[in-house]
Structure 1
Amino acid sequence: VTSDPSPQFVTFRGQTGGDESVLLLESFPKLPRKGTKHLTMVKLTVEFCLGATRQSDPLKINKLNLWGCDLDNVDCLQSFPNLRVLSMSINDMTTLSAMAKCHNLEELFIRNNKITDFRELRHLSRLPKLKILWLKDNPIHVNTERSLYRARVFSHCPHLVKIDEHDVTDEDRRAAEVLRRKQAPEQPEPTNQAVEIKTMANVNNLSQKSRNIVLGFSSLARTLDLQQLDNCLEELQLMRQELACASGAAGPI
């Protein structure tokens, strides 16, 4: 399936032939929201899916079409690790966390839901087989400029080959790479205090005589410019090599 499998385009009927079961919920039962009139909510259950597909083993279900079912909770999808195609378009989903363990998922259609945060895509970032993702008509799509939207989606899911109705392009990949670089935290330069703490930790492992020499050199080094310090280090390296040769244990400083 490469286009959003809403009922008017693709019809998945329960079938038990072979190792495949498919579920189409055209008349999913509606449950009233607490304290709210005229609105409905649905929590998908493993039992319902198994009953609708006439299966006793969740591992044998690899396609589900839950298009337009007012779903806002599909946590039970974690019980279907062999799902390959999942249609969740036109529901009330606000999170993608339930898909995080569907490691065999290849195609996910979740357009026209209520995904407002790009960080939800982190739940899909470890699904290596996911190649097709439809997210359009969610708030993250509607409220974001097109090129930035595609870059942000691809930066979270670099294994995708298709985002919505368009294939991933080299331009999408470049934009995502630029975005990742901007978002990567810079490594702070070590402060003088941090350097001094590290130095002291190393010094404490030395003998008293060696400790005095190192601390003396450390104090002297702070008074030198870079050229003078380089000269001192070169001299120390030569001395180190001479001592190593004399003892028959040459090695790097």
Structure 2
Amino acid sequence: MTSSPAATLRAVLALVDRTREVACEGLDRLDEAVESLGALAGSNQPEAHTALDCFSRAQQGGGELVGRLSALRAAVEGVLGRVVALLGDASPTSAPGPVDGPYQVAIAAVRQRIGRTPPGARTRGVWVRSDGSVEELQSGEATPWFEETYQRLRVLGGPQGRALTRLATHIEVQMVLARMGTGQVGGEVTLVLSRPPCGTPPDAAQPFTCDSQLSNLIRSTGRALKLTVIDPDGKVWSYPRGRAER
């Protein structure tokens, strides 16, 4: 039996997702290797500098690969939306009956797909737009928005050293400072993350967390912004108000 165009595109999306997941895991290992080799930066051994340079280049390439896979997924999602609009959707998910809108459907699908990140692993995230289209995101220093986020945090003051770097790696902070705050992204954004925002229970007492800083960071942009974060349990966190809605 011949697959419908929509079903074929969904199969492509599944393949891209699996490939990106493997790439993210590999990037995690490269990040760990570069961090470990950082201690050799002051060594007089040329082999140490060669190894650090090789791993750093691999880390950069891994970040670019993840970014390209995210862009590919967004492009395929766009094509899928147009195909469904023109030809309909013969897949089982389009059975007759009451259905949610594309935004709600996308959020439910993303929550099921990304699940919960285990402790110590890189946070995964997805920006779900109002039309149901999505953009894959991840935390870390290898993203296109880390450096601008880091510099903006330095100007604003607050945490220093490793605490500043750590906060700048978070998906929510990068979205607010490097994308929403600069006008690259509209005033309202919904993120589905593989863990709750840091600073919510059980680590609510920790300083310089997303939950404690996002409201002030949004206000610092001088723009009317709203960030909604949905955690793995379906709780919705809205900023600048910054407390769970349900």
**TM-score when normalising by structure 2:** 0.28
Highest Rg: 1 or 2? 1
Please state which structure has a larger fraction of its residues in helix: 2
**TM-score when normalising by structure 1:** 0.28
